[in-house]
Amino acid sequence: MATKYEDGTGRPGASSGRALWVEQAAGERRMPDPVRESAVRAVLIVAVTLTVATTAFFLTVTGSWLALPLALCAIGGTVVATWGVLDVMITRQTWNQRYGVVSEPSSTARGRRRERRRSRRDAAAARSRTPVPQPRQPDRVRSHGEATGIWPPPSRTGR
């Protein structure tokens, strides 16, 4: 007779009681790789800048000669950290513009694309069924002096 334990297994030695780890579905999708890379880069830059700024502050309080070089590094780091955060936002926006259409059943873009493809196919089929109109011949006879394809145009004198 097989014994069924609380974790759903029938193996002996399985813990009885509440499970220590419960799997839960993630609330949001994972960030795309380029966005994640720029975010990690920005976090590292901001962390180093904050560390340098804090060290520059404490060296300023103590009156050390290293305070000025570290303060200049902190100012430069602030500029670079601002660039890093802007890089994350720009990379995220670029990725969304290139690959942002989600192909899920709930996506409205999928139905619209399908409808556009269907209408283009129908229009192409209608064009292939209709004959191409031939150029129409002019209804009137050209008089002397008009473009008739003959050069020089015939004169009225008969020469």
Would the pTM of this model clear 0.75, i.e. be above it? Answer: no
When the pLDDT of each residue in the chain is averaged and rounded to a whole number, the result is 80
Helices 67-99, 33-62: axis angle to 10 degrees equals 160
The pLDDT tens digits of the residues spanning 19-52 come to 777 777 777 778 888 999 999 999 999 999 999 9
B/e letters for 97-116, b = 16+ CB within 10 Å, e = fewer, are: eeeeeeeeeeeeeeeeeeee
Whole-number CA gyration radius for the chain: 38
The amino acid present at 147, given as its one-letter code, is A
Q: Is the Cβ–Cβ distance between 52 and 74 less than 8 Å?
A: yes
